[in-house]
């Protein structure tokens, strides 16, 4: 009985000693552990707030939806509609002088896609755009397109969008509020009017959290919402020249792809594109200030489209009288 009681006492002593040691370790390191937990929590909070919001901090794949489908406010829209003619002239001269090499240059439009038959609707030639909301080059090129179109008419609405998150997640303009979650569809139309031209826009819609997707033009024809768009899509399909997006007609000139490659203030040398991490506000600010190569190249890209359109309307719009636009038109048609 005594020996049995004595044996239990030794075991209890050992267990108590171990507990005391463990408690001591916890007490000794408790403040350090708590401090580390606070630091980790703080870092996680900072990373969460930075994700997808900073122009220099990429978010996780498929997570950047900031402001998507929101219309430009009046100030932002005026940066497009009210772009000064002087900016177009200065950019034209920079391009003609070879100062924007690698970003944009004057194309010589040969007979394979220049002097195409115009698509005339209601007595006016047309600009036709076929693209995809997931397309990076469509995304980049819509900035130049919008600037060019603003010289012939007026937008009452433009919307904030992105190219596919799997295709560099470039901030862009949408012509209308697009369905970026649908498995397949086409967004037709734009809030635009002009006394000189028609503008028919069609973007293939797909989940932008996936990669680039588009359908053949026959799909755009089949999905057309009315006879006018059916005619426009059929016109583009009948050219037989579709090779990718963007695919555009400016009066009597077909463009097989983007007319400029403008993803920042330098020519892209890797898959890390500065434009990818810009906000829409930053892009619009650069366009409005006209103080860096990004803005100059976007206006120069617009100038190429303007010159092609001027050629098809007999230079009847005020922008067509700019010396720089005349020089580009002459070089393109030489």
The partner residues of 192 in beta bridges, in order of sequence, read: 155
Does residue 14 surpass a pLDDT of 70?
Answer: no
pLDDT band at 304 (very low <50, low <70, confident <90, very high): very high
pLDDT digits (tens, 9 = 90+) for 243-252: 999 999 999 9
Contacts of 322 (CB under 8 A, 6+ apart): 85, 88, 89, 92
Does residue 15 surpass a pLDDT of 80?
Answer: no
| Domain locations along the chain | 1-49, 74-332
Please give the radius of gyration of the chain, using alpha carbons only, rounded to the nearest integer.
29
Does residue 170 surpass a pLDDT of 50?
Answer: yes
pLDDT of residue 334: 75
Long-range contacts made by residues 72-76, C-beta under 8 angstroms, separation at least 24? 72/157, 72/158, 72/159, 72/160, 72/173, 72/280, 72/284, 76/280, 76/281, 76/284
Instruction: Count CA atoms closer than 13 A to 48's CA, side-chain side.
Output: 6
Does 323 or 108 have the greater pLDDT score? 323
Cα angle 202, 206, 208; round to 5? 115
Does 23 or 81 have the greater pLDDT score? 81
Strands (E), the chain: 126-132, 154-155, 159-162, 171-174, 185-188, 192-193, 198-205, 247-250, 253-256
Does residue 95 surpass a pLDDT of 70?
Answer: yes
């Amino acid at each position: 009985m005594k020996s049995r009681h004595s044996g239990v006492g030794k075991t209890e002593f050992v267990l108590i000693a171990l507990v005391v040691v463990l408690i001591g370790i916890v007490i000794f390191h408790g403040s350090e552990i708590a401090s580390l937990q606070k630091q980790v929590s703080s870092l996680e909070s900072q990373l969460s707030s930075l994700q997808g919001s900073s122009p220099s901090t990429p978010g996780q794949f498929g997570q950047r939806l900031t402001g998507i489908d929101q219309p430009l406010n009046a100030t932002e829209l005026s940066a497009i509609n009210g772009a000064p003619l002087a900016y177009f002239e200065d950019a034209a001269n920079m391009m003609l002088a070879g100062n924007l090499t690698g970003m944009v240059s004057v194309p010589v439009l040969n007979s394979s896609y220049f002097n195409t038959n115009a698509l005339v609707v209601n007595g006016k030639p047309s600009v036709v755009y076929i693209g995809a909301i997931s397309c990076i080059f469509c995304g980049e090129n819509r900035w130049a397109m919008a600037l060019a179109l603003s010289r012939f008419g007026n937008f009452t609405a433009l919307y904030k969008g992105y190219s596919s998150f799997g295709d560099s997640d470039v901030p862009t303009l949408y012509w209308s509020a697009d369905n970026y979650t649908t498995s397949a569809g086409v967004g037709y139309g734009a809030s635009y009017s002009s006394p000189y031209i028609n503008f028919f826009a069609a973007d293939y819609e797909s989940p932008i959290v996936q990669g680039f997707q588009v359908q053949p033009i026959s799909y755009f024809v089949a999905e057309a919402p009315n006879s006018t768009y059916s005619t426009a899509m059929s016109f583009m399909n009948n050219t037989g020249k579709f090779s990718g997006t963007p695919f555009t007609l400016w009066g009597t000139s077909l463009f097989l792809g983007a007319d400029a490659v403008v993803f920042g203030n330098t020519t892209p040398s890797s898959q890390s594109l500065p434009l990818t991490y810009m906000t829409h506000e930053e892009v619009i600010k650069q366009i409005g200030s006209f103080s860096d190569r990004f803005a100059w190249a976007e206006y120069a890209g617009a100038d190429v489209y303007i010159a092609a359109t001027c050629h098809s309307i007999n230079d009847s719009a005020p922008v067509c009288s700019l010396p720089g636009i005349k020089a580009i038109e002459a070089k393109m048609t030489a």
